[in-house]
Amino acid sequence: MADEPAAAPAAEDEVRRLFFAVLLPRPLQAAAEVVQRALKRANADLKWVEPENLHFTLKFLGDTPVSAIPRLSEVGRQLAARTPRARVMLRGLGGFPHNQWPQVVWVGCENGGLALAKLGHSLDTALNEADLAPLDKRPFEPHLTLGRARSNRGLKGLVLSLAQYGTVDIGPLILSNFALMSSQLGPQGPTYTVIEEFPLCPPADKAGPAAPPG
């Protein structure tokens, strides 16, 4: 009896670098790029995020089996169906771990920021309950990363720039959906691909009249 050919590797063995995120529309990308250009005048050694890649990370999953994507998508759909849309004002600059030692430069949230924080926390909880990801050790703090320090060169000037532009307005973000994303790392930086977007539901006062009792 002839030997049977070796079976091809199962698709489930494939992994992809995944995360959930809220993406920025083009007008807000452009507004954030203006702020990046202003901060670049400090000549600090930062790796700036490309404007088209700017996003709020809700949950980073890392290398994940492709076979888990349908379950991840289902969690996203269920959460989106019970999460109302909101308006989030992107305002103010800061640095992690703090403004006097900015290793990460970010834009913060004011009005509506709690809605974004609640979405991140709810997603974290839902993924954990579905046995798809462990709970994050730190509470979710919504922020839009503009750049990351590669060295300490020019940080003093960057600190001054953060103080100068610390209250800058980027503009309002209509939080109407979030997405499951994949990231492929390359020599020029990451390439992001949308796997699925999850539209949020209308606010309660705009959802329409309740159906009459039967």
Q: Residue 198: what are its φ and ψ, rounded to 5°? A: -125, 105
Residue 146: partners with Cβ closer than 8 Å, 6 or more residues away: 32, 35, 36, 39, 48, 49, 54, 93, 105, 106, 107
3-class DSSP assignment, residue 76? helix
**Residue appearing with tokens 């979710």:** 140
C-alpha span between 199 and 83 (Å, rounded): 9
Active site residue 143: yes
Q: Given the residues 21, 46, 55, 162, select the one marked as catalytic.
A: 55
Q: Say which DSSP state 84 is in.
A: B
Residue 167 CA, chain-centre distance (Å), reads 22
Residue 202 CA, chain-centre distance (Å), reads 21
- CB 124, CB 75: distance < 8 Å: no
Cis peptide before 97 (omega within 30 of 0): yes
Active site residue 121: no
Q: Given the residues 16, 59, 91, 143, select the one marked as catalytic.
A: 143
Enumerate helices (H) and strands (E) in the chain, giving the number of each. 4, 9
Q: Say which DSSP state 40 is in.
A: H
Residues with active-site annotation:
55, 143
